[in-house]
Amino acid sequence: MAMKAEFSVQSAYAYDRTTTLRWVISHLWRNKWLVFGTMGLFLTAWTSFSLTRLLIGQAAEEIVNPSAVQVFVNITLGVLFLQLLDSMTSLLASLSIETAAQRLEHDGRQELYEALLAKSTTWHDRQRVGDIMARSGDDMKMMNTMINPGVLFMCDMSMGLTVPIITLATINTELVLLPIAFVLSYVLLVRRYVRELNPVVGAERESYGVMNAGLEEAISGIEVVKASAQEPFERTRFRRNAKAYRDWFAKQGRIEGRYLPTLVYAVFVGAMFLHALNLSGRGLMGLSEVIAIMGLVSAMRFPIEVSIWTFSMLQVGLASADRVLKVIKAEAEIDENSAGHTGNIAGEIRFEDVSFAFEDGKAVLSGLSFTVKPGQTVAIVGQTGSGKSTLTDLINRTYDATAGRVLIDGVDVREWNLASLRGQIGRIEQDVFLFSRTIRENIAFGAPDTPLDKIEQAAREAQAHDFVTSFQKGYETVVGERGTMLSGGQRQRIALARAFLSNPRILILDDSTSAIDSATEDEIQKAIRRAQQGRTTLLITHRLSQIRWADHIIVLDRGQVTASGTHEQLLRTSAEYRRIFARYDAALPPLETEAVGAAD
C-alpha cells in the first residue's frame, strides 16, 4: 500500500525502502552497470597484479640461472604490460565507482527533498530544522563516502584477498590451507568489530544531528539570544552538544584502535614464509615460486590494513542512510488524493459539527457548525487562543478535522484533489514568509511564468510598487531569508501582491494588515475590497475598521461559536463581542438578552 503524501512525483523511480541496506542497494542497482563494471575492472587489476608477481619470481630464477636474453626481455615486457593494465583498470574502476557514488548522493537528495515536500504541516511542526538539514547535508555526504571510497575499498579488499589465494593454488594446492585459515579468522574478527562499532556510529550520527539542530536554533533566534544577553548560555549548550559528538567519535577511534586483523596478518606472513621454505626444502618448489608466494602474500597487506577504514565508512554510511530513510518513510497525516475531486471552486464553505485536537488530545475546536456563502466576506473574531487560525487551517487541509466535516461547494475537503483545492485558496498570514529570492519571484511564487507587467499591477494594488521601485534593483532586489531586509508592513504588502496575482477563489486574511500603518491600511483595504469581489473571503482581525464591512461575523471563544451576526447585531447581543471591542467604542448600545443564531 502506498504511503500517504501531500505531494508525489508520478514518474519517480521506485526504490526498495524495506530496510536500510535494501534501500542503498536499490539506489546502486539503478546504476548497476557502474558497480558491475567496477568489480570487473578490479578483478582484472588484481589478476594483472598477481600475474606480475609470478613473472617477477621467474625473473629472479632467470637471474640466478640465466638461459637466454630473449626470455628475460619477454618477462620484462610482460611485467610492463601487466602493470600498465593494472594501472588503467584501477583508474577506470575508481572513476566508475565515483560516478556511482555521486549519482547515489544526487538521487538520494532528490528523493529526500521530494519526501520533505510530501510531509504534512503537522509532521514538520514536530521536527527540528537543524536536524533535518544535518540529514540532507552531512548524512547524504556520508552515504557518498560509503560508496567511494567505502565500497571501492571493499571491492579492492575482496579481490585483493581472493585473487592472490587463487594464484597461490596454481603454484601448489598446499599453499591455500593457511590463507583459508587466515580468512576465516579475519571474518570472525571483523564480525565482532562491526557488531561493536555499529551502535557507536549510530549514536555519533544522532549526536551530530542534535548539535546541528541546536546551532540552527541559536542562529535563527539570534535576535532573541542577543536581546536576552544569553550568549554565554548558548555557548555552553553548544559546547556540551559538541563534546557529546566528540566523545562518540573518540569512542569510535578506540574501537578502531583495537582492530586485530592487522596483528593476525603479521602472524600469517611469518607462517606462510616458513611454509614456503618447508616446501622448497622438500624440493616441491624453487626460488621463483618462493619469491612469487611472498610477493602475493605481501600484496594482501593493503586490503587488510585498509579494511579498518572500509568497515568504519560502511557503518557510518549505513547509519546515515538509516537516518535519511526514517525521514523518507515517515508517513504524512494527509494524502494528496490524486484521484480526488477537481474543478473550479464557487466558494461555499460549510462546517458540520467540526472538532479538532492536536496530538496531545487537547481540544482546540469543538462542534463548529456554520455556512459561508459564495462571495461572502466573513470576519472571525475572538480572544487570543480561541482557535481562529486553526479554523481556517482546516479549510485548505493544513490539518484535517478530527471529527465532523468541512465542505467546499458541498464536497468534503478530504475528497478533493489536494493540489486542486489548495491551488484555489489564498492565505496571507500575520507572520509573512518570504523566500531569499527576488521580490519579483516572491510575488509570482504561485505563478512563476507571470509577465512583469502583471506582477507590477498586483504590487500596485497591494500598495507595494512605490517602495519596490525605490530599491536600486527594483523587482530584481533579493530579499534576505524570511524577508528580513524588509519591514513588517513591506513584507505584508508583498504577500498581498502574491495573493492578488494568484487570483484565489477563497481568500483567507489572518491579521494580514497588523504591521501596516493606518494611512497605508486604508489604501490596502480598498485593494482588498476590489480583490474580494466575486470570491469568498475569511477575515481574521481585531481591527474594527475591517470588521465593520464584513457581511457576517463569527465570534469564537475556547474553540466554540458563541455568537454570529452583523456588527450591529453582535454589539447588542454578544457580551464576548462587546468585550473585544469596548476599547474602540465607548458608546456601545445596551446588551440584549436574546442572542442572534448561527449563520445558515
pTM reported for the whole predicted model: 0.83
Cell of 187: 571474518
Cis preceding linkage at 232, omega within 30: no
The C-alpha atoms of residue 289 and residue 120 are separated, in whole angstroms, by 68
CA dihedral sign of residues 375, 377, 378, 383: positive
Q: Which CATH number fits domain 430-503: 1.10.645.10, 3.30.470.10, 3.40.50.300, 3.40.50.10490?
A: 3.40.50.300
CA distances from 307 to 40, 87, 186, 457 (A): 20, 21, 10, 65
At the second CATH level, the architecture of 20-212+250-329 is Up-down Bundle (1.20)
Equal CATH topology for 20-212+250-329 and 430-503: no
pLDDT for the residue numbered 100:
95
CA atoms within 13 A on the CB side of 484: 8
Cell of 198: 555499529
In the chain, what are the domain boundaries? 20-212+250-329, 338-424+505-512+538-593, 430-503
The CATH class for the domain spanning 338-424+505-512+538-593 reads alpha beta
The H-or-E segment that residue 580 falls in is: helix 575-581
List the pLDDT tens digit at each of the 600 positions of the chain.
467 788 888 778 899 999 999 999 999 999 999 999 999 999 999 999 999 999 999 888 888 888 888 888 999 999 999 999 999 999 999 999 999 999 999 999 999 999 999 898 888 888 889 999 999 999 999 999 999 999 998 998 899 999 999 999 998 888 999 999 999 999 898 888 889 999 999 999 999 999 999 998 888 888 888 888 899 999 999 999 999 999 998 999 898 888 888 889 999 999 999 999 999 888 888 888 999 999 999 989 888 888 888 989 999 999 999 999 999 999 888 888 888 999 999 999 999 999 999 877 778 999 999 999 998 999 999 888 888 989 999 999 999 999 999 999 999 999 999 999 998 998 888 778 888 889 999 999 888 889 999 999 989 888 889 999 999 999 999 987 767 778 877 888 888 888 888 888 999 988 766 656 666 667 667 667 766 777 899 988 877 777 877 889 999 988 999 999 988 888 888 888 887 776 555 556 666 654 444 444
Beta strands 349-357; 403-408: pairing state: antiparallel
- Closest by CA to 414, choosing from 477, 334, 494, 308, is 334
